[in-house]
Structure 1
Amino acid sequence: MTLNVTAAPSFTVALSPDSLRIVAGTSGTTTLTLTPQNNFTGSVSLALIDAQGNAPQGIALSPTSLNVSGTNPVSQSLTIAVASSTNPATYRLRLRATSGSLVREANLTITVATTPSSGGATWTQRVFEPLTLNDVAWGNGLFVAVGDDGTLATSSDGVRWTTGSVAPGVGLWGVTFAANTFVAVGNQGKIYTSTNGTAWTERSSGAASAWFDVTYGATGGNRFVAVGTGRGGGIVAISSDGTTWSMQTLSGSSAFFGVAYGNGTYVAVDISGRAYRSSDLTTWSPAVVTTQNELLDVAFGAGTFVAVGRKGGIFTSSDGATWTPRSSGGTDNLQEVEYVNGRFLAVGDNGTILTSADGVTWTPQSSGTQRTLFGVAFGTNTFVVVGGGGLVLGSSDAASWTPRTSGWGVGFHGVAFAVNTFVTVGSKGLVLASSDGATWQRRSVDASVFTYFKDVTYGAGSFVAVGLEENPLPVPVVFTSSDGLRWTRRSLPTNTEPLLNGVAFGNNTFVAVGSRGAIITSNDGVTWTLRNSNTSQGLNHVAYGNGVFVAVGSLGTILTSPDGVTWTPRSSGVTETLAGVGFGANTFVAVGLGGRILTSSDGATWVPRTSNTSRYLYGVAFGNGLFVVTGDGTILTSP
């Protein structure tokens, strides 16, 4: 007799973005992606709930249902309306999707802000964090580091690094190398493999949640083992080759953040302070390690398992069953521990690096940074530690550390706001997007690393980014996008100056400005026409508001125009280079060299403001109730 078992229809839900900043009395949008599984069809009810399962006061969702009729994922734009009486605060909510007995949820954070009143006079500095590197491994003569938004950084010597991406939009938490294969794991249940560290293939893990760590061991016939979190607790995935994975949920466990192999035993640690051990990858036995610390990682070396966690917690065990607390000498959270080149290295918050020969006695080392450190590897006689802001540290002895560049510390030169999204552009063809002006994610653009974007704006249904490409001689470039995700390069007049610095949209017209007074205009972002500015000064940026275009440039140059064709010079009162100008809340804001900020209500008369920074400021935009200025490694907001 043959028994056929059919999986029950189901679905998954995801939100992008999952964090919004909304001014009280206005609304914001996010996109829901519902993916049907096992031929699911029918009506799905949607609702916003708080931590207690109640509807939040003053925050409304629309629409409150959708229909699924096919097998393809369904995308639905959701509007979040915030009443004017809603208190300014951060609301951590969940979108609940219900169809009969099926209930699926996705997190959504709403930050409610008040209506701005300072008009660009008061500014707050935001430190822009280049993409964080979460883990690093050594194999086949290559260091491979992975991190936020699918970030990839590779190096053959730990000194010179090349950047790339495994999977844009997918946060990667762990990477290991074994059996001639790199395996990287991360959010959305994603697992990727590579034999060379540069070309990656997605594998199916059977999970939709997050994998946080991965290791390799000989027990059970040489297996990769990944651990993470699922709806029912901690999850484990097992594979003999990194290609095909089988998953199991460990009942009663919490999210697993670390896994290690040693002495014929796998040990996984969870955030409830427990260690689960297995010798056959089938049966797992729990042991209480601590009731005071969440455990974040575990390693094996010198016959000893070492687990680390929050508040400086360190614990050792010879078998994964009985654990002894050890003194770390500090209270900073320890994010990762590895046994490399005959010693344990533990790294964590505030630049913490600890070393130990046996896991019992630990020595602090000076990292020279306050950034959080997440990953450790050893190769070519070099220790490598990676962390926040794309930081890479190198050392030959694990005691003296030298900062290296991972290639992610780029400058940003323009920002625009539309469809509830900030878009900023910069060097190396890099484009980032944000819903709140504080948290940024990389977007994919088909531009070479020799492309330098200088500005971006939105109008007529498109984002337009301008700059230059060294090919090898500099040539001007214009890229357009309808959603900030996918970008197309456009043709320009043959006599256009080689550098376009700024672009704006108004009066149904795009205006781009550049070197030696260059100005070009377009009605659609596709076809462009040269215009005469009557100046030879370099023009760095342009904005539109109150029926006026305003262009700024070298030596404090300011020009105004009602249509982008005829231009009039204005007095700025300064001689510093002005690099950017934007408009919002009935105010023009110009920014530039030395942290210079000027404001104007009409583009003709300008008032200096205090920025509290001396960094070079490049771009400014207004949206969701605040001005956002970007510059050399910095972001300012007002109010």
Structure 2
Amino acid sequence: MGKPFEGTRWTKWITGFRLNGIAYGGCIDNKKVFAAVGDGGILLTSSDGTKWATKTLRSSLRVDNLKAAACGGGLFVVVGDNDAIFTYQDGEWRSPYQMTIGSGMTLNASLRGVAYGSVARHHGQEIRFFAAVGAVAAAGDSGVVFTSSDGVTWKVNHPSSSPSLFGIANGKDLFVAVGKNGAIFTSLDMANWTKQTSGTKEDLHGVAYGGNLFVAVGKNGAILISPDGVNWQGGTSKRPKSLHAVTYSEDHSAFVAVGQDGTVLASSDGITWEELYSEAGEMLYGVACGEGRCVAVGDGIILTST
């Protein structure tokens, strides 16, 4: 069992940046860091969630709005608008997607979520992928999935009848993507995607896996849980605020969700949720946990638990 959140205090930091996502992991110079991304290509990194280094990522001469980040396989991957994919390799941030497919072959996809994890084993060997999800405006905002086994070479997949996709997570050798109008798609091989029944028409903005459970959150306080990514049922939050992101804290053995008006919720089972914080006022778009603390980011602010 992890340490409960009782007595946890949150410190609010004013940044002046709109931050859309955050991830935690040991993928930058072999150091464990929080990496927050935002509009204008902004990237903030911190080892403790209190002191932050600032950098701007550019794709060629263009500065992209960055939406999400993930750590895995020794790599940090950041995604965003206009096909933006950046990977931290050999001490620097690179844009491998542009280099892989060549100039003039972009989809102009808006990528909103990224995750790293394994799929079903082939001949006893575990295969791991990065998967980024989003939408292509030119195709009527249809859903799109970018996949890569190395963070450098990326393939594009359009799940059949998928609307815009906003979030993705991995657990039990399964990728789960969520999106507009309650859409949930799952894949065991990163090539074939199966549409699941969510039981809601609310937009689902984020999904996470931990403690043998998937949790998806979304508009108007929508919360769904599933033990297998296939069968879903609803949880209950105290306030019907829209939720934009969810993560699992190993240190607290709990899910943490953030969203509208600075709302921060926590749950050990995905069913009953406790409000941890609601004083920021600003919208929160991302959350990550590590080293005993959680960090939430949003419209010009960072919240750090202590």
Pairwise CA distance, 1:275: 0.6
Moved over 3 A (4+): none
Question: Any conservation in 1 of the 2:163–2:180 contact (CA below 8 Å)?
Answer: yes
Deviates more, 1:373-382 or 1:175-184: 373-382
**Is 2:67 the counterpart of 1:173?**
yes
Cα deviation, 1:309-350, whole Å, max 9, x if unaligned, reads 000000111122221011112121100011122210000010
User: Structure 2 counterpart of 1:393, which letter?
Assistant: L
Match of 1:359, SS state, is coil
Question: Any conservation in 1 of the 2:159–2:192 contact (CA below 8 Å)?
Answer: no
Separation in structure 1 between the aligned mates of residue 75 and residue 198 of structure 2, nearest angstrom? 32
**Is 2:86 the counterpart of 1:200?**
no
Separation in structure 2 between the aligned mates of residue 267 and residue 382 of structure 1, nearest angstrom? 26
Match of 2:40, SS state, is helix
**Is 2:36 the counterpart of 1:145?**
yes
User: Structure 1 counterpart of 2:181, which letter?
Assistant: S
1:360 to 256, 271, 286: 271
The equivalent residue for 2:119 is: 219
Separation in structure 2 between the aligned mates of residue 380 and residue 316 of structure 1, nearest angstrom? 26
Match of 1:204, SS state, is helix
Pairwise CA distance, 1:147: 0.5
The equivalent residue for 2:211 is: 302
Pairwise CA distance, 1:266: 0.8
Pairwise CA distance, 1:153: 0.8
Pairwise CA distance, 1:236: 0.6
Matches within 5 A, 1:159-308: 159-167=50-58, 169-195=63-89, 199-204=92-97, 207-219=107-119, 221-230=127-136, 231-232=138-139, 233-308=142-217
Separation in structure 1 between the aligned mates of residue 149 and residue 15 of structure 2, nearest angstrom? 37
The equivalent residue for 1:369 is: 280
Match of 2:82, SS state, is helix
**Is 2:304 the counterpart of 1:394?**
yes
The equivalent residue for 2:124 is: none
User: Structure 2 counterpart of 1:225, which letter?
Assistant: A
User: Structure 1 counterpart of 2:270, which letter?
Assistant: G
Match of 1:250, SS state, is coil
Question: Any conservation in 2 of the 1:134–1:387 contact (CA below 8 Å)?
Answer: yes
Structure with max Cα Rg: 1
Question: Any conservation in 2 of the 1:215–1:224 contact (CA below 8 Å)?
Answer: yes
Question: Any conservation in 2 of the 1:274–1:290 contact (CA below 8 Å)?
Answer: no
Separation in structure 1 between the aligned mates of residue 107 and residue 117 of structure 2, nearest angstrom? 22
TM norm structure 2: 0.83
**Is 2:260 the counterpart of 1:349?**
yes
Aligned residues: 267
Separation in structure 2 between the aligned mates of residue 228 and residue 318 of structure 1, nearest angstrom? 24
Cα deviation, 1:509-568, whole Å, max 9, x if unaligned, reads xxxxxxxxxxxxxxxxxxxxxxxxxxxxxxxxxxxxxxxxxxxxxxxxxxxxxxxxxxxx
Question: Any conservation in 2 of the 1:190–1:203 contact (CA below 8 Å)?
Answer: no
User: Structure 1 counterpart of 2:129, which letter?
Assistant: R
Pairwise CA distance, 1:365: 1.0
Matches within 5 A, 1:450-469: none
Pairwise CA distance, 1:374: 1.1
Matches within 5 A, 1:75-154: 130-140=16-26, 141-154=32-45
Separation in structure 1 between the aligned mates of residue 226 and residue 133 of structure 2, nearest angstrom? 20
Identity %: 37
Match of 1:360, SS state, is coil
Any unmatched runs of 5+ in structure 2? 1-13, 27-31, 99-105, 121-126
The RMSD of aligned alpha carbons is 1.8
User: Structure 2 counterpart of 1:146, which letter?
Assistant: V
Pairwise CA distance, 1:367: 4.4
Separation in structure 2 between the aligned mates of residue 150 and residue 210 of structure 1, nearest angstrom? 14
Question: Any conservation in 1 of the 2:205–2:217 contact (CA below 8 Å)?
Answer: yes
Any unmatched runs of 5+ in structure 1? 1-127, 397-639
Matches within 5 A, 1:439-478: none
Matches within 5 A, 1:450-599: none
Match of 1:189, SS state, is coil
The equivalent residue for 1:322 is: 231
Cα deviation, 1:410-466, whole Å, max 9, x if unaligned, reads xxxxxxxxxxxxxxxxxxxxxxxxxxxxxxxxxxxxxxxxxxxxxxxxxxxxxxxxx
Question: Any conservation in 2 of the 1:270–1:294 contact (CA below 8 Å)?
Answer: yes
Question: Any conservation in 2 of the 1:174–1:212 contact (CA below 8 Å)?
Answer: yes
Higher relative contact order (CA 8 A, sep 6+): 2
Pairwise CA distance, 1:368: 2.8
Pairwise CA distance, 1:301: 1.0
Pairwise CA distance, 1:195: 4.0
Cα deviation, 1:2-47, whole Å, max 9, x if unaligned, reads xxxxxxxxxxxxxxxxxxxxxxxxxxxxxxxxxxxxxxxxxxxxxx
Pairwise CA distance, 1:129: 8.8
The equivalent residue for 1:532 is: none
Question: Any conservation in 1 of the 2:117–2:171 contact (CA below 8 Å)?
Answer: yes
Question: Any conservation in 1 of the 2:23–2:36 contact (CA below 8 Å)?
Answer: yes
